Structure formats: structure tokens, C-alpha cells
């Protein structure tokens, strides 16, 4: 069975208004539409030009991220993930507007298991933060893309860096994502 999906360049003003209202109701001050925040989230380090999202939401849990994505799907509004904006690839520019999901507040190291040689972290944990947490355990996170990127951002861009030849890229260092 094949589903047909209608493609359009930008969500309608009504769809945008609906999702902004719903996100504001559900997330309060964590759903932001102020110009300065939209501008900050409209580009990464690699682009001079900006393409602004319509709203930026700051979830705290995986469940909140899932709820935001479900709502965006229902209202046919695009979703752009954002860590700390260090990307050079241009994928954080909201070319068609939409919802920017800023994962920077999901910044907890949940578990470190030296015996298993692994850890569990939220997407907004930065490379430097993770290595500070791992210090003294005999472990370290070898991916070094040059900027203090988030784990989620590095996973989404398949980051590598100066240690890739010896330790591999994100692909070889990530066991699972939720």
C-alpha cells in the first residue's frame, strides 16, 4: 500500500497559528516566538543567511519531544532539531519555517557504567560536559568535531573529528538513540 503525501513549500498561516497556540498552551514560556530567539535558531555556524523557524520549543524529556513531533505531524508543520548551533552543514536553518526543537535543556548525563564501557545521556549534553563527567572513570568520549557540540547534534551529523582514525566516528561510538 502506498500513501500519497501532498508536499508544499511552507505550512499555511493557519497551521502555524494552530501549532504555536498549542505549544504555548502545553509548554508555556518554553515555547518562544520572540525575534531574538527565532534569529538565534535560524542558522548554524556555517551559514551567514538565516531562515527562521516560527516557534522554538525547549523540551525537557523524550516524551515531550515525541509529543511536539506528533503535534507537528498532525498540523503538517516541519520540525528542525537544534542543539547549540555549532553545525556547519546548514541543517538547522528552517527553510520552510516550522517548529525548532531546542534540545539544550535536555542536558543530563543519566548513567555512566565504566564496567560496561558506556553511558546514557540526553541529547543536549555537550562533548566537554560528557568528558568532564567521564573524567576519573578511565573512559572518555573521543569524538572531537572542533566545536563543543551536543551529543544529539553530533549524532545527527555523523560527526567525526581529529580522533576518527583511531577511535571511529559517531557511528562507531553510539550504541543506541531514543
Residues 72 and 144 in one domain: no
Nearest to 71 by CA among 49, 48, 54: 54
Residues 115 and 35 in one domain: no
Q: Is residue 57 within 8 Å of 80, Cβ to Cβ? A: no
Residues 63 and 95 in one domain: yes
pLDDT tens digits for 31-61? Answer: 999 999 999 998 877 766 678 999 999 999 9
pTM assigned to the model: 0.87
Nearest to 50 by CA among 5, 4, 82, 11: 82
* pLDDT of 18 strictly over 90: yes
Q: Which domain holds residue 88?
A: 13-102
Q: How many domains does the chain divide into?
A: 2
Which pLDDT score, from 0 to 100, does residue 2 have? 58
The 3-class SS string of 59-124 reads: CCCHHHHHHHHHHHHHHCCCEEEECCCCCCCCCCCCECECEEEECCCCCCEEEEEHHHCEEEECCC
Does any domain span residue 50? Answer: yes
Compute the average pLDDT of residues 6-34: 91
Residues 98 and 113 in one domain: no
Q: What is the DSSP letter of 26?
A: H
Does any domain span residue 1? Answer: no
Helices (H) and strands (E) in the chain, counts: 7, 6
* pLDDT of 163 strictly over 70: yes
Contacts of 29 (CB under 8 A, 6+ apart): none
Compute the average pLDDT of residues 76-90: 87
Cα 163 to Cα 32: distance, rounded to the nearest angstrom: 37
Which pLDDT score, from 0 to 100, does residue 48 have? 64
Residues 61 and 88 in one domain: yes
Amino acid at each position: 500500500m502506498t500513501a500519497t503525501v501532498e508536499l508544499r513549500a511552507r505550512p499555511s498561516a493557519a497551521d502555524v497559528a494552530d501549532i504555536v497556540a498549542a505549544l504555548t498552551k502545553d509548554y508555556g514560556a518554553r515555547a518562544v516566538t520572540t525575534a531574538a530567539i527565532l534569529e538565534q535558531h535560524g542558522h548554524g555556524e556555517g551559514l551567514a543567511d538565516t531562515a527562521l523557524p516560527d516557534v522554538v520549543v525547549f523540551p525537557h524529556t523524550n516524551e515531550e519531544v515525541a509529543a511536539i513531533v506528533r503535534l507537528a505531524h498532525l498540523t503538517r508543520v516541519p520540525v528542525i532539531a537544534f542543539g547549540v548551533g555549532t553545525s556547519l552543514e546548514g541543517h538547522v536553518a528552517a527553510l520552510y519555517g516550522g517548529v525548532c526543537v531546542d534540545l539544550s535543556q535536555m542536558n543530563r548525563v543519566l548513567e555512566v557504567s565504566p564496567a560496561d564501557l558506556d553511558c546514557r545521556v540526553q541529547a543536549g549534553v555537550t562533548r566537554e560536559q560528557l568528558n568532564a563527567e567521564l573524567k576519573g572513570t578511565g573512559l572518555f568520549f573521543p569524538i572531537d568535531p572542533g566545536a563543543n557540540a551536543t551529543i544529539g547534534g553530533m549524532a545527527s551529523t555523523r560527526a567525526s573529528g581529529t580522533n576518527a582514525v583511531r577511535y571511529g566516528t559517531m557511528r562507531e561510538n553510539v550504541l543506541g538513540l531514543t
